[in-house]
Amino acid sequence: MSHYEAPIREPLVLGDKSYHDITEDIAKPIEGKANKNWYIAFYISLAAMLWGFGCIFYTVGTGIGVWGLSKNIGWAWDITNFVWWVGIGHAGTLISAVLLLFRQKWRMAINRSAEAMTIFAVFQAGLFPIIHMGRPWNGYWVLPIPNQFGSLWVNFNSPLLWDVFAISTYLSVSLVFWWTGLLPDFAMIRDRAVKPFQKKIYALLSFGWSGRAKDWQRFEEVSLVLAGLATPLVLSVHTIVSMDFATSINPGWHSTIFPPYFVAGAIFSGFAMVQTLLGVMRKVTNLEDYITRIHVEYMNIVIILTGGIVAIAYATEFFIAWYTGSPYENYTYLSVGAETGPYSWAFWSLLIFNIFTPQLLWIKKIRRSFIWTFVISIAINIGMWFERFDIIAIVLSKGHLPSTWWRFEPTFVDVGIFVGTIGFFFVLFLLYARTFPVIAQAEVKTILKSSGEFYKKRREQGILTKPAINVVSVESESDKSDKE
Amino acid sequence: MASNKKYWKSVEELKDSPIVETLSKNEFVEEIPTDEFLGDKETLENSSTSRRDFLKYVGFTTAAASLAACEGPVRKSIPYVVKPDDVTLGVADWYATSVADGYDFANVLVKTREGRPIQIMPNKEADGTTSARVQASVLSLYDQELRLKEPAKAGKVISWEDADKEIGLKLNELKESNKPVVLLTGTMASPSTDKIISDFIVAYPNVKHVIYDAVSESGAADAMLAMYGKRVLPNYHLDRAKTIVSFGADFLGDFHGGFEKQFIVGRKPETGKMSYHVQFESNMSLTGANSDKRVVVKPSDQVFALLNLYNAITGSNVPSKATAVDADVKKMASELKKAGSKGVVLTGLNDVNAQLISLEINKALNSEIIDVNNTLNVRQGNDKDVAELISGMKSGKIAGLISYNVDPIYTLANSTDFSEGLKKLQLSVALSTENNETVNASNYVLPTPHFLESWGDTQFDEVTYGLMQPTIQPLFNTRQVQDTLLKWSENTTKYYDYLKSFATTSVLTGSSWNTALHNGFFKKEVIEVVESVESTVVISDVASKLAASAKKSSGFELNFYTKPGLGDGKQANNPWLQEFPDPITRASWDNYLTMSISDARELGFSNPVKDNGAIDGDYAKISVNGKEITVPVMIQPGQAKGSIGIALGYGRTFGFKKEMQVGVNAYPLYANGNNIQYGVSIEKVSGTHKFACTQVQKTIAGRHDILKVTSLKDYKTVDPKDHHHGWNKPAYVSYDHNEVEANTIDLWDEHNREIGHHFNLSIDLTSCTGCGACVIACHAENNVPVVGKNEVRVGRDMHWLRIDRYYSSEVETREEAKELGLSRGDMYLALETEAENPEVTFQPMMCQHCNHAPCETVCPVAATSHGRQGQNQMAYNRCVGTRYCANNCPYRVRRFNWFNYANNNEFDFNMNNDYGKMVLNPDVVVRSRGVMEKCSMCIQMTQATILKAKKEGRAVNTDEFETACSSACTTGAMVFGDINNKEDKVASLIEDKRAYGVLDYLQTKPNVIYQVKVKNTNEG
């Protein structure tokens, strides 16, 4: 049963592919030489990254004063970028864990890259809480490690401390999950490698994967267990990040809907980033047959859903700010005060990029268009950045006491560090695209005969009537358990 | 008994073997093969020291050398070998002394630590008060750049003996040829010095003493001379006043040295009575901001309003003119008549005629508020004498000038006349504490000590005789002016002995020198009562002269004023005072042209708020009497249309570092010491000025529960918690679907307060005038860093204590806005926009030490936590600098160290030089970069009080606890204490019906309690 798929469903693998073709396609970027475009992109990213590192060193060496912050606005781009990157890091786990539990086969073409994106994004996110500290060299004090400072211990009431736990847990689980999935694929590269050095490296990376049935069985079990572990993390991480704001007392931050709203926003932005990245990658690495229109459409549907949740949250925030009747709520980031105030441009950027633009995805033509999807995904990325900027900067700019109202303007260091993290992210991603199997080929092979275009057509034409039982050698354990 | 024992080291030696001799001649038994080693290339190449070994040695020596060089810089601290009797390490000594620098006068207590004065506090027994400037003057003592260090002649160091000899010769020469010499000083208010000067004049009859105040109040003194035969300033007992009418007299500022203490004594709502104070003025002054009613009127109309008031009160008919404020004048005339002897009129116009009119009005009222017997000596300057001096110098009539602590080249309008005259003199001697342009232009420069290094006496009013004593060994090679004059008068007495005998013989009746010196003052019991001399003043002449002085011209009317921060500019190089925000405009590091909103609109001036939160301004070129200066414009609500204002004391540059050279010198326009200049033309010129304001939003934006104000009538008659009209309504929240008072429900457990102390600070908004003495006191006590203009501009001032200033708006509440039918956006705009002539309220704001502090829960490393005594404490060492606490503080009182502010050349203020660092309080750590800091409720002071009581084996006395701000507060608006001691004043204050906590709806439960501001709107 498992490998039967209704003919009405669109194929997930295009073209007349054999297992070997898949292997070849996936291994090509690793085994071949990089083209000129890759080098251009890499060097630009590298330059941005180095510039960002320079700005970070400058900050750490001189003081946080080189940023645009002030006595009244203690956070701005630092935490905006942090939340933005964490949010982007959400799609990966959702795709690989939640969709695995829901048996969504379409995840197989994208989960590897989505998860890579997650990990790289969390790297960027993790930078900010460290460098935003006035004394980052003492950053380890936020860890509850036994120490010789006396009876000093961390403050478990602080959401920032919860962040430390949430982010580090998320990063480690994501990393393990990602690596587990990579094992058979690394082994495949290892087996194909002709140069001894590469063979050695991939042998190390694949942890001695032998391809025995026991390997596969354990692989499946671990995947399932990790998926189960990772699923709550999808919810917990951004819930906790949102509590940085929700547990505070600033009007506009102190809001009970923040946890679900932030989680939805994070998935929204994460999927947008996946769209952005894969839209480019499928072209550059010639993986158009694996990342298809239907993949894009599925992801767009998730974007519509989560974008809708976000839109309702915005509306709620706006309504509640008005409904409280409290003069302290006049200037929250979603209010008439914000709309008419000095940050109206940021207010409108948020609404236009995040609410109005994604509505275009209701149109099927747009939803299935690679170009449109790419454009909208960029818009959402920008919009989600503005969401966090608005929450932080607008709220802090209009505190409780009017005497403390102030404004924020970034310095070149603020901008430099943000650009630097984008550079760093792409450096990692580009290196990944050249050295890692970017598609979980072992998994894709399991669905080739059920969801591959060629086999589907064959079945439709009646040439192949029976389910593809001859793929038993790569049939997955979980599928077997399904049958039982 | 010689010994003939033979000592030997070896048998060979004993036996006198020749080998011993050979060996003793040859130190190295075997020849050292240097030649062999270095001379022969081949051997060298084959030697056993390989390249590897060589590199090893090089590496080792380099590493060893560099390790040795890596030793940290040594900072020597030299302990006392013999402990001085009066110094106990770690324990502060307090000395009673006096401040008299020519502009600021106060009886003070000086705190010294290990021989260094570090703080100045009012001597409350002597009724002393300290302004921000007096508080800050302790830092001017340590002014490394400006203090004069050695006597000099023509720029070259000279010994005191040589200087005395040369000057003495010259003086005698001038005496013999009877050429006039002028001794030019500021106001000293020192009886013994006056005597020394008169002795000096006896010795040198050709010497004339001229007193010059940079900011003149000559008119008032001249008026007193004309009316009462005594050239002094009248005193005003505002504490007893019922009705006070002031025409531009900034008596909470620098008018006659300030009367804020007396004024506030007369404004205690709990007594049921408050004086009714109406201020007619053009600039928005501190006094106007604190008035019950402020009538905006430009200077020329002030003159006529004063005359109209005179007519209305005396029934006479001196020539005057109708003004737009005549209705108010008429009303005030009847109020004053009603108040009778409890009414008083003051005027700030530095014009003898205006002052005479006001004296006449007070006479007509039979006012007992004005005191012409116990008069003030704090402004003795005589404009006429100064004018004579300059013309004499210009004409070459005057041959010599001895100046003491004045800088006419900076402060005179016609300073070029002065400096050119100075060049013609045969003898120019500058005795001065600080370097300035006049000092620089004088031939002989004799450094004098700062008043904290000096002996002296003071007589500010007729009752209190103050003594001045050194609190530190002189830092530089200085000599007091009195010693110098004594020496030149051939009097060999030291000034200390002179002073002691002067005081004991002619002042201290019934007291001893030691007691008086210990107390710092001596109250005289009997004062002379002035017989009302038959005044020759003809009021109609005076009135017509006065009317004529208010020239009707097309231009603007410029009204000079002094800021609480800089005053006349004597302490312009004091970074605390430069960083001190102006109470009204909240701008630091600047003076500017204040201009009314409508004039600014017409002339196209604006103050846009930039994206970084800072305020910019346009430049105006203003010219009057052929002189012009270019100043930035600050739009000032409440400025009279057609008038402009500018603060004196800024724009000093001589000897200043670049970062201290701020503001514009307005003295060139301050002709004849006249604080009003008519016919000023304004031209907008290009350029953008960068202001450094600490507050940008000017109004309370409808959030009236932050700042509660009521009228005296409502205070007396309306229930404070009344649902509709209550003036101190608590916040209500919904709990179980019932409306309950916010402070009755609690999410958190209460701290246990049963044992120990629980500190509270009460701030009475009725008594707070916004003067800012507390701000500087906090600066000094807590080593608050100075960050400079650029950092203040972008919102990074470090003040732990700030005084928020709010203007009223035309639309004050949302309800009013709704009635006007404004849309939501327009409503916000209306609430945010200040009125053209607003009411002003001040609110000191510092860490509220919340019992449920929002900052405490969010710190990940628990660097900020709650103290047993109610403080919210900050452990700097533990802070990692996430700034989350600052974001979660609804009062925004936390200050972050964005950079290292100490020992950093980028912040070259007092914490970057060895002299400036002497002012640091050793009880408080200097914070490093990256950590958060804030008000600690002066925990070092409260702990010291507790320890002192413990050592003395007693409980802490009632009202013994103090913080820097509460002890500096002149008006007693800030009261600090322990609420667990029910006797403490603060314990009853927090129960007062006026008490409220700011933002109490947030349940922060602050330990700082505010008292609702009560204004006497004269309704009942």
pLDDT in tens, B717-770: 999 998 888 999 988 888 888 888 887 888 888 888 888 899 999 999 999 999
| Helix or strand holding residue A148 (H, E) | none
Distance, CA of B687 to CA of A56 (rounded, Å): 35
B828 with A396: Cβ contact below 8 A: no
The answer, for A151 touching chain B at a CB cutoff of 8 Å, is no
The answer, for B791 touching chain A at a CB cutoff of 8 Å, is yes
CB < 8 Å to B884, chain A? 74-75, 158, 160, 244
pLDDT of B750 reads 83
A65 with B701: Cβ contact below 8 A: no
The closest of B102, B98, B179, B665 to B403, measured between CA atoms, is B102
φ, ψ of residue A56 to 5 degrees: the values are: -65, -45
Between A152, A327, A396, which is nearest B702 by CB?
Answer: A327
For domain B152-216+381-519, give the fold: Rossmann fold (3.40.50)
Ranges of chain A with pLDDT below 50: 1-2, 468-484
The answer, for B829 touching chain A at a CB cutoff of 8 Å, is yes
Q: Is B437:B410 a contact under the CB 8 Å cutoff? A: yes
B219-374 classified as CATH 1.10.287.130: no
A249 with B700: Cβ contact below 8 A: no
Task: List, in sequence order, every beta strand (DSSP E) within A304-366.
Answer: none
DSSP per-residue letters across B120-170: EEE-GGGT----HHHHHHHHHHT-TTTB--S-EETTEE--HHHHHHHHHHH
Between A153, A342, A406, which is nearest B795 by CB?
Answer: A406
CB < 8 Å to A153, chain B? 862
- Searching chain B, which residue's CA lies closest to the CA of residue A322? B824
Q: Are strands B400-404 and B427-432 parallel, antiparallel or unpaired?
A: parallel
The tally of CA atoms less than 13 A away on the side-chain side of residue A225 is 8
B883 with A132: Cβ contact below 8 A: yes
Distance, CA of B538 to CA of B536 (rounded, Å): 6
Distance of CA B500 to the CA centre of its chain: 31
Distance, CA of A297 to CA of A294 (rounded, Å): 5
Residue B527 carries which side chain, given as an amino acid letter? I
CB < 8 Å to B846, chain A? none
Most B-contacting residue of A58, A59, A62, A70 (CB-CB within 10 A), to test interface: A70
CATH number of B709-1015: 3.30.70.20
A154 with B861: Cβ contact below 8 A: yes
Residues 6+ apart with CB under 8 A from B476: B147, B148, B149, B150, B447, B449
Between B699, B802, B824, which is nearest A402 by CB?
Answer: B699
Residue B760, SS3 per DSSP: strand
Distance, CA of B1012 to CA of B1020 (rounded, Å): 19
For residue A80, give how far its alpha carbon lies from the nearest alpha carbon of chain B (Å): 14
By residue count, chain A amounts to 484
Residues 6+ apart with CB under 8 A from A332: A251, A252, A317, A321, A338, A394, A395
For residue A321, give how far its alpha carbon lies from the nearest alpha carbon of chain B (Å): 12
Q: Is B615:A414 a contact under the CB 8 Å cutoff? A: no
CATH number of B552-693: 2.40.40.20
For residue A236, give how far its alpha carbon lies from the nearest alpha carbon of chain B (Å): 19
pLDDT of A3 reads 59
Q: Is B776:B802 a contact under the CB 8 Å cutoff? A: no
The answer, for A438 touching chain B at a CB cutoff of 8 Å, is no
Between A64, A159, A247, which is nearest B930 by CB?
Answer: A64
A407 with B609: Cβ contact below 8 A: yes
The answer, for A346 touching chain B at a CB cutoff of 8 Å, is no
Q: Are strands B593-595 and B627-635 parallel, antiparallel or unpaired?
A: parallel
* Sign of the dihedral through C-alpha B823, B829, B831, B837: negative
Strand partners, A81: none
Q: Is B313:B361 a contact under the CB 8 Å cutoff? A: yes
DSSP per-residue letters across A223-268: HHHHHHHHHHHHHHHHHHHHHHHHTS-STTT--TTHHHHHHHHHHH
For residue B692, give how far its alpha carbon lies from the nearest alpha carbon of chain A (Å): 13
φ, ψ of residue B38 to 5 degrees: the values are: -100, -25
For residue B729, give how far its alpha carbon lies from the nearest alpha carbon of chain A (Å): 15
For residue A48, give how far its alpha carbon lies from the nearest alpha carbon of chain B (Å): 25
Size of interface A-B (CB pairs under 8 A): 204
Most A-contacting residue of B793, B815, B864, B887 (CB-CB within 10 A), to test interface: B887
B891 with A340: Cβ contact below 8 A: no
pLDDT of B46 reads 66
Q: Are strands B802-807 and B427-432 parallel, antiparallel or unpaired?
A: unpaired
| The pair of three-digit structure tokens given for residue A92, joined into one six-digit string | 């990966």
By residue count, chain B amounts to 1020
pLDDT of A322 reads 87
| The pair of three-digit structure tokens given for residue B521, joined into one six-digit string | 């003052």
B796 with A71: Cβ contact below 8 A: yes
- Searching chain B, which residue's CA lies closest to the CA of residue A61? B899
Per-window interface: A 353-392 vs B, CB < 8 A:
none
Most A-contacting residue of B818, B884, B891, B906 (CB-CB within 10 A), to test interface: B884
For residue B852, give how far its alpha carbon lies from the nearest alpha carbon of chain A (Å): 12
Distances (CA, A) of A348 to A257, A332, A343, A360, B783: 21, 14, 9, 18, 45
B795 with A409: Cβ contact below 8 A: no
pLDDT tens-digit readout, B649-703: 999 999 999 989 999 999 999 988 889 999 899 999 999 999 999 999 999 998 9
CB < 8 Å to A69, chain B? 883, 896, 898
Distance, CA of B434 to CA of B137 (rounded, Å): 13
B862 with A154: Cβ contact below 8 A: yes
pLDDT of B671 reads 87
Distance, CA of B488 to CA of B444 (rounded, Å): 14
Q: Are strands B156-157 and B152-153 parallel, antiparallel or unpaired?
A: antiparallel
Distance, CA of B478 to CA of A202 (rounded, Å): 82
- Searching chain B, which residue's CA lies closest to the CA of residue A136? B880
DSSP per-residue letters across B347-388: E----HHHHHHHHHHHHHHT-SSEEEEEEE-S----HHHHHH
Distances (CA, A) of A181 to A223, A292, A449, B282, B734: 7, 21, 21, 79, 53
Residues 6+ apart with CB under 8 A from B516: B465, B467, B503, B508, B522
Map out the domains of chain A as residue ranges: 19-143+244-445
DSSP B555: S
Q: CA angle B603-B606-B607, nearest 5°? A: 155
For residue A292, give how far its alpha carbon lies from the nearest alpha carbon of chain B (Å): 45
DSSP B899: S
Q: Is A427:A42 a contact under the CB 8 Å cutoff? A: yes
Distance, CA of B976 to CA of A159 (rounded, Å): 34
pLDDT of B68 reads 75
Ranges of chain B with pLDDT below 70: 1-3, 29, 33-49, 70-73, 526-528, 530-535, 551-553, 1019-1020
B884 with A136: Cβ contact below 8 A: no
Per-window interface: B 297-326 vs A, CB < 8 A:
none
End-to-end CA gap in chain A = 11
Q: Are strands B152-153 and B343-347 parallel, antiparallel or unpaired?
A: unpaired
Distance, CA of B805 to CA of B699 (rounded, Å): 8
A403 with B695: Cβ contact below 8 A: yes
Residue B161, SS3 per DSSP: helix
Distance of CA A14 to the CA centre of its chain: 26
Distance, CA of A376 to CA of B418 (rounded, Å): 75
DSSP A156: T
Map out the domains of chain B as residue ranges: 1-70, 152-216+381-519, 219-374, 552-693, 709-1015
Residue A139 carries which side chain, given as an amino acid letter? G
A161 with B703: Cβ contact below 8 A: no
Strand partners, B693: B587
Residues 6+ apart with CB under 8 A from A231: A93, A97, A98, A101
| The pair of three-digit structure tokens given for residue B1014, joined into one six-digit string | 């009560």
Residue A395: CB atoms within 10 Å: 23
CB < 8 Å to B858, chain A? 157-160, 247-248
The answer, for B26 touching chain A at a CB cutoff of 8 Å, is no
B897 with A250: Cβ contact below 8 A: no
Q: CA angle B953-B956-B957, nearest 5°? A: 115
Q: CA angle B627-B605-B288, nearest 5°? A: 80
Helix axes A293-323, A258-284, angle to 10 degrees: 150
Distance, CA of B289 to CA of B275 (rounded, Å): 15
pLDDT tens-digit readout, B937-962: 999 999 999 999 999 999 999 999 99
- Searching chain A, which residue's CA lies closest to the CA of residue B906? A62
DSSP A7: T
Strand partners, B122: B108
The strand order across the sheet containing B1008-1011 reads B974-978, B759-764, B1008-1011, B995-996
The answer, for B824 touching chain A at a CB cutoff of 8 Å, is yes
CB < 8 Å to B706, chain A? 400-402
Distance of CA A234 to the CA centre of its chain: 11
CB < 8 Å to B732, chain A? none
